[in-house]
Chain A
């Protein structure tokens, strides 16, 4: 050894020893390990003690590392084992679990290597060196120690590894059926050790012993999982146990029969006390069973059925099917199978019937697949079953053997029946032992013999029987090469010669556990069939039901086989009539697993045989074989062997014996003929071709569905179609085909149902969230499908059709794109503008769909509502109206969404107001104008439309539409935004207040729009308390609006007392504008109106006129409030100064009256004048009115003269203003007025003549007439200048003085009057 490295190592180990910190210490240790492993054995031997010292370190990690180092050294240099093994044994007791675990980990490596080395050395030489021998014995001690840990009660981390150790030892001690049975030619080859290399040639490693030990250990392991031990274990131990056992079962299929019953009988919920982790153990169990299921080894086959059952119970059925399918993938029908299973799973809620059918199919299929799997494995079963011995030599012996074989078979079958599932430990051990011995081949023959002879006959029988269940249904190596065959022949004959037949049977049955041998044996036995008859005779002689060749039993399967769709069918032998009556042979001759065959099928043997014979004919023709009868029989797998063993083995036996008697006459015999295997041609398709085939198949199916309506049962069938369409498309775009089918005739093909099924299927897939990929793709498929169907429904069906609505209402969810579609439908113009003609109906369709969605699908209510609301502010009047009708009439009443609707409408309203705040400044002035316009032209319109449309809100919009012409461009926009709000107002009157508030700040266009809406709106609303409240306190700036509201309210109806009261109150308190009273004027009592009259007169002329009209028209019930005469008198009663009203207003009012001559007629005027003239003092405008009356009605002159003369008597001259008027009147009415003038006292006459000079001459001329002159007093004549004597100047003086001061004002008045009269005329 290199001294340098030695020194280095020494110092290293020292520094490790003295290092104090854990970190550096571990690092040093690792370095030490690296260095050490490079050293040779000699050096190591020195250092080993150093390292053992390291183990005394107090810290766990260091001890662990030390153990690891020692373990590795041991593996590398097995010669140290005698030192290392004791060390490891002590380490097992370490207080730190991790260290103890490490010890076991090292042990297993060490054990494996030691075993390997020991074994291989033993193979090459008969003597082993003593070192190795002692190493091995130490290893055995170590092993025992670990065993004790593994099987001691209790739990813990150490136990887990110990159990693992046991597993490893079991695997090492038993032959690996998949491994090479010969040791590698040169030792260095890294190949997994296989105990079967030993072949019994080892000096002290006895395969049988090892196998027995393994078997015992396995029993111990299994016992742990048995009740009640299992209860004391922790979940982790259970999980490890289950995993270990399943691993053993998988790697050593010979143990299947022992391990699986235990696993299958495990019921996690019952044993896990801390129930929290039941599913942990459950899952492990499930996985274990699944992995067993996937095992393709023949001895696993009989268990599949039970495994499947158990897995189904654990609700892993689907997985199990998949697993099974994987096993049978060869057959290519995997996909189908998968489809079915998933169909079954998901269909459940929908149709029970379908479910059942589906699962039947599934089950049957799995059965057939099994069999096809078998057939695949080779044409074995036939051969094996046909245990026809070769006749070529020693026929008697052969026959003997044959019979005894059958005997053995049968007895075993019987005992199986007896001890159904009792797991007999010792027996199983024996079986394993036999297995191990047989595996050694010729060499072990001796020990086999000894073993057999030492076992009692009963036990031996049980061993045979127990092994029956391990018989594989097939053999995987049928094409054994010739060399081996010969070899085995020799073996076979040797065996025959030396050992009793019963032993041979055992060998045979055992060998079936070990396929290679079995295959060899069988192939040896497969012979020409000529011997058969002879043989059957022998069978007769043997009193047991020894079927010479059990194959015949398959005859019973004929009808079963018919159903089977096997890709590779196997033609086997034929029952031909013969004189042999011992039909029972058929059944009993079947090697163990055949008991699974359906005897009930056979019970009607007659039928069966006839069936067979027909089949025979067919096939004979087909195959052109000349032999009498051949039936195509399918070798069905013995999938149910376990079940039948368990459930009705006896029944089966009875059955068969029954058959024996009943069919005794029908004489079915057995002539196995091996026919060439007929396999279906396999054509490999490219992927594209497969796609095409699938597609075509699907199209065919779809086509077939078109007839289904006739056939009935479409309910169930359509779900199948839907699932098919969805399941297949992983490769193809079958959605489209399905969609086309659906859409080609939506109604007749139950499109709705079918679509929904597809959608639910896809939706389920998307929601499953199994993995990101598949759920995303499923979601997109879902969306595409739904959208395509929806679009087609929209485009092809008339708008009145409800399919779309129904579809969207029932689809599992609506993706965004579908909502977009709906939105486009409701608000045309968003995307395309083309279909103007239809859009109206389409909008209705869309809206009603939205409506139903809102009702039916609360989760997307908001989105749908948004669509409806968007549509309600659509720019097209028609669309908007429809949407508003929906929103206001149908949706707004829903309490859950009304607030939302309200908010939206308010927002839109406000947005309209805020559009152009800039315009507000000049809006005020203009608004009056527009208001006037609409007011003037509206009444006529409204009456018509309102009467026809009644309360329907839509009237509002029709109305506003008609009056829309010629307004500013933003009015439609304002309407667009506000219509919805108005509509809502009719439903909730309190909302109306907002309009008043908004109104004051609204732009001109908005006001205009509002005014257009108001009449119909208000009329629809009627007078409610809400409205009254609003009216009673209108915000400033909204007077115009208020007026319109009032007008509308009073139009055509009698306003209620409350309204009148409210208005009056408003007038009295807040709003002094009498205008608001105008609408209710007709309904006010006359005296109140008279009180208000001055205010009315003070109104602008047009408004006064309107008010006048109302007053005179009055209400329909009560008649006119005031008569025209009263009106005129009231006007004249106004004192401009007292009432604070400009005279001009009063005269205007008068003029207004005179304009309406049809009302203010001659008679009325006369009456008015008559009354007025009596008033004291005379009304200011009296003379003016007189003048106007003359102007208007010249026929009144006579009457006027009378008035004038009465005025004279009233000393009219004392009223300077009236006097002017009087004179004017007199002037205008000359010559009639002359007589009146002449009645004037002389001073007044003179004054008059002075003022109106033009009067003088005609008056003088008039007075000069004789008759008149005489009647005149002298004084008058004197004034006229007709009397010669001079007039008393004093009189004239006074009168002049009297009148002089009035001169100016009178002049004014005259000027005024003339002006007025000219205006009036």
Chain B
């Protein structure tokens, strides 16, 4: 979401998605997570959790996170259900597990457009500070890819130079719509 808001500010046409089956937020205990359907507005979650236990959720950072999300978009969306959103040029993931899920999903779709899509994984730890760093890196990468005429021809060079510059490992794959 952090990357979403940053890229959005920079004028990129960007969407963000989850890949799980539900939106799961930590609850008071292991057995009682807060589970929402995709599409549940962040506002609703925010109010719900604030009603349940404001202290707990403020302390573990859930409420602030929801508040931030509120300002970016209405509700969480699910990657697997995003066919209607058209095709993307680049997909960023921030966790390898998600990367694999996105690729699997893309491979399972009917690839009729033959429009190539670059899927990049940038490993980012799930906390606010790292997310901010990761978002900036993603932006940097987007701008570099935007700068070349056709990334298909130069993706290796871009990514290698990015890796050298930021000392970050990237994982990428190419899929088709």
Contacts and interface: CB of A to CB of B under 8 A. Distances in A.
Interface string A127-169: 0000000000000000000000000000111101100110010
Contacts, number: 122
B144 interface: no
Interface string B130-173: 00000000000000000001111101100110010000011111
24 contacts: A98-B150, A105-B114, A109-B112, A157-B116, A158-B152, A161-B176, A168-B111, A168-B114, A234-B156, A236-B174, A239-B174, A243-B107, A276-B159, A276-B163, A279-B171, A287-B173, A733-B30, A733-B31, A769-B125, A769-B126, A771-B126, A772-B126, A773-B24, A780-B30
A777 B29 contact: yes
Interface in B1-45: 24-27, 29-31, 33
A234 B116 CA distance: 16
Given A157-B116, A277-B159, A729 B30 contact: yes
B107 A164 contact: no
A669 to B, nearest CB: 50
B153 A97 contact: yes
A104 interface: yes
Nearest to B103: A287
A283 interface: yes
A274 interface: yes
Given A777-B26, A781-B29, 14 more contacts: A60-B149, A96-B149, A98-B149, A101-B152, A104-B114, A105-B115, A156-B153, A284-B173, A287-B103, A287-B104, A287-B173, A729-B31, A780-B26, A784-B29
A235 B156 contact: yes
Contacts of B125: 769
Contacts of A730: 30
A234 B174 CA distance: 12
A1131 interface: no
Nearest to B56: A780
Contact of B97 (A101, A105, A770, A778): A770
A158 B26 CA distance: 46
Q: How large is the interface on B (under 10, 10 to 19, 20 to 34, 35 or more residues)?
A: 35 or more
B26 A773 contact: yes
A276 B174 contact: no
Nearest to A237: B174
Contacts of A243: 107, 173-175
Contacts of A239: 172-174
Interface string A751-782: 00000000000000000011111011110110
A284 to B, nearest CB: 5
Contacts of B113: 105
A274 B152 contact: no
B114 A236 contact: no
B60 interface: yes
A105 B25 CA distance: 42
A272 B81 CA distance: 35
Interface in A723-755: 729-733
A-side interface mostly: helix
Interface residues of A, number: 53
A120 interface: no
A436 to B, nearest CB: 23
Contacts of A287: 100, 103-104, 173
Interface of B: 24-27, 29-31, 33, 60, 95-97, 99-100, 103-104, 107, 111-116, 125-126, 149-153, 155-156, 159-160, 163, 169-176
A632 B151 CA distance: 61
Given A236-B156, A291-B107, A776 B114 contact: no
A772 B149 contact: no
B174 A97 contact: no
A240 interface: yes
B26 A160 contact: no
A730 B29 CA distance: 11
Contacts of B107: 243, 246-247, 291
A156 B173 contact: no
B154 to A, nearest CB: 9
A168 B103 CA distance: 18
5 smallest beta-carbon distances between A and B, as pairs: A157-B152, A776-B26, A105-B114, A772-B126, A777-B30
Nearest to A784: B29
Contacts of A284: 173
Contacts of B173: 239, 243, 280, 283-284, 287
B174 A160 contact: yes
A532 interface: no
A108 interface: yes
Contact of B33 (A155, A240, A777): A777
Interface string A89-105: 00000001110010011
A146 to B, nearest CB: 11
A1318 B146 CA distance: 117
Which of B97, B99, B163, B176 is most buried by chain A, counting CB atoms within 10 A of its CB? B176
Interface in A237-296: 239-240, 243, 246-247, 274, 276-277, 279-280, 283-284, 287, 290-291
Contacts of A279: 169, 171
B150 A274 contact: no
Contacts of A731: 31
B107 to A, nearest CB: 6
B31 to A, nearest CB: 6
B144 to A, nearest CB: 16
Which of B99, B163, B173 is most buried by chain A, counting CB atoms within 10 A of its CB? B173
Contacts of B169: 279
A164 B111 contact: yes
Contact of A161 (B24, B112, B116): B116
Contacts of B170: 280
Nearest to A155: B153
A805 B166 CA distance: 44
Contacts of A109: 112, 114
Which of B125, B151, B170, B172 is most buried by chain A, counting CB atoms within 10 A of its CB? B172
Nearest to A235: B156
Contacts of A778: 30
A546 B170 CA distance: 57
A243 B99 CA distance: 14
Contacts of A732: 31
B152 A276 contact: no
A759 B55 CA distance: 26
Interface string A910-932: 00000000000000000000000
A780 B60 CA distance: 10
Contacts of B25: 773
B163 to A, nearest CB: 6
Contacts of B111: 164, 168
